Amino acid sequence: MAVGIFDSGLGGLTVLDAVAKRLPDVPFVYFGDNAHAPYGVRTADDIFRLTCAATERLWDEGCDLVILACNTASAAALKRMQETWLPPGKRVLGVFVPLIEALTERQWGDNSPPREVAVKHVALFATPATVASRAFQRELAFRAIGVDVEAQPCGGVVDAIEQGDEILAEALVRSHVEALKRRMPHPEAAILGCTHYPLMEKVFQEALGSQVKVYSQANLVAASLADYLIRRPEFHGTGTQSKFLTTGDPANVSVHATQFLRRRISFEKA
């Protein structure tokens, strides 16, 4: 009954932490493609190829349901995977939809036409590839009208977080927020469109101001996954063990992951 969690690096650990707390009886297999991170500067074809390979590896671990806890993969590869690649009996879900449902106050599976919502000015902070895909705007348009989205590609932030350089990461976040505010001086809400960014949520909030509601993904994805598994228990899968897999050096990745989550994490070679 294992569920797979995939990310290009360590950012998806924020999602893993939240879903594991929400669903303590479910084994989770985490796959970090650290050897090829970051995805945010790769082409869409490259992201698709790497994401498919990682998903197949998680299927090998008995995970019939895989969560792409990577906004770049969700933006650049998920739609193509679902339309052209996914075999029967398997599911791959992304991390954008729970965010958008929270932003637009719509329930899961609400397929009614898009309507006006309270929030009119939204700031999106994401990797360059996620911003270029316009996937967030596309998904939002299915549910809401009249929302102005200003997207800021946050180059360098993921690298700084992965390397454990919090001072650089904080400086970059403040710089990116200032760049966005020059184009949208008064956002009402901000989307942290990368699973690394919850570690910088306090910095984003300080730079944006207390009047801006900041949406972070981990807990929203956890709640959405819990609901999904109640409705679709057939996708629990056959796996029975929790584990951490990486395409990178397991010892090195384990050290960074332990620093990242502030608890001991031990990775195996994927």
Catalytic residue, from 52, 63, 70, 154: name it: 70
Cβ atoms of residues 70 and 92 within 8 Å: no
d(CA 221, CA 227): 10
Q: How many whole angstroms from its chain centre is CA 40?
A: 12
Q: Per 3-state DSSP, what percentage of the chain is helix, strand, and coil (rounded to 5)?
A: 50, 15, 35
Cβ atoms of residues 55 and 66 within 8 Å: yes
Q: Which amino acid is at 8?
A: S
Nearest to 122 by CA among 212, 187, 209: 187
d(CA 114, CA 131): 22
Angle formed at CA 151 by CA 107 and CA 165, multiple of 5 degrees: 100
Question: Which H or E run includes 180?
Answer: helix 166-183
Q: How many whole angstroms from its chain centre is CA 195?
A: 4
The yes-or-no answer on residue 194 being catalytic is yes
Catalytic residue, from 52, 63, 154, 194: name it: 194
The yes-or-no answer on residue 154 being catalytic is no
Nearest to 205 by CA among 194, 213, 196: 213
Nearest to 121 by CA among 183, 168, 68, 65: 183
Active-site residue numbers?
70, 194
